[in-house]
């Protein structure tokens, strides 16, 4: 199988910051969002805000209704979830199963694959807020796609439909990918928080707005390979 076209019935397991956003992106591309699982009131509110009218269902109900199952759960919970659904015979042959965890590829989906499902691992390299802001940011993001070679085009096509850019990451390289993404996110968040705190102690109003242009330009320069320069060069 090398390609798949047409509208898919998409079910989402997990209503954290990632699942509803990717669901909204796929819905905007013409796919039908058939259901989402959500436990807490916060997750239910998020699901309703991002996917109004989409029914909140149990996990097995989401899987049974879906041609594409989007697993947007913490990486630590992923293996047990996939194995549990395999043990109850819930996975369906020909069903696409896509998880968003950064550090693992499709090996974690082996129980679903054994039942005839098609495994995909897609991780967006961006920090999610769980709001509509993310739909705009997603259009400038890259997503790691890991999948068996014959179905890599499916993962790439889904990323493009969500408005992002796909980049193929090998199964054995997912841990390094996760480390790179986590380091960039954690380091930048910590540094910005520290500098905002310094300006706040100085009594400077709205320190985040003051630092915004500096942080954005410094990051853009670093990504472009330019050395930082805060003062004019000496003659």
Q: Tens digit of pLDDT for each residue in 78-105?
A: 999 999 999 999 999 999 999 999 999 9
Range of the domain at 198: 177-223
pLDDT at residue number 192: 75
pLDDT at 3 exceeding the cut of 50 = no
Count of domains in the chain?
Answer: 2
CB 10 within 8 A of CB 20: no
Last residue of a domain, one of 130, 152, 169: 169
Residue 3 lies in a domain: no
Last residue of a domain, one of 149, 169, 189: 169
CB 144 within 8 A of CB 171: no
Indicate whether 112 and 202 sit together in one domain: no
Distances (CA, A) of 114 to 59, 86, 87, 119, 146: 19, 9, 11, 10, 18
pLDDT at 52 exceeding the cut of 50 = yes
Indicate whether 117 and 182 sit together in one domain: no
pLDDT at residue number 204: 85
CA distance 212 to 163: 25
pLDDT at 229 exceeding the cut of 70 = no
- What confidence tier does 216 reach under pLDDT thresholds 50, 70, 90? low
- Mean pLDDT over 131-146 rounds to 95
Last residue of a domain, one of 148, 169, 190: 169
- Mean pLDDT over 66-74 rounds to 98
Mean pLDDT for all residues in the chain: 89
């Amino acid at each position: 199988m090398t390609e798949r076209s047409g509208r898919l019935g998409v079910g989402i397991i997990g209503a954290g910051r990632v699942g509803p956003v990717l669901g909204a992106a796929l819905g905007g591309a013409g796919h039908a969002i058939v259901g989402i699982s959500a436990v807490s009131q916060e997750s239910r509110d998020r699901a309703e805000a991002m996917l109004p009218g989409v029914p909140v269902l149990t996990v097995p109900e989401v899987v049974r209704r879906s041609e594409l199952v989007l697993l947007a759960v913490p990486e630590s919970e992923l293996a047990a979830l996939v194995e549990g659904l395999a043990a109850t015979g819930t996975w369906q042959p020909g069903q696409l199963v896509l998880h968003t965890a950064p550090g693992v590829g499709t090996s974690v989906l082996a129980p679903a694959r054994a039942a005839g499902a098609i495994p995909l691992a897609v991780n967006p390299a961006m920090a999610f807020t769980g709001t509509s802001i993310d739909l705009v940011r997603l259009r400038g993001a890259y997503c790691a796609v890991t999948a068996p070679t014959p179905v890599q085009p499916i993962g790439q096509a889904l990323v493009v439909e969500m408005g992002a850019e796909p980049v193929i990451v090998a199964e054995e390289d997912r841990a390094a990918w996760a480390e790179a993404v986590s380091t960039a996110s954690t380091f930048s968040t910590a540094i910005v928080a520290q500098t905002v705190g310094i300006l706040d102690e100085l009594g400077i109003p709205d320190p985040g707005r003051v630092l915004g242009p500096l942080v954005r330009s410094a990051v853009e320069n670093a990504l472009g390979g330019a050395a930082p320069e805060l003062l004019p060069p000496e003659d």
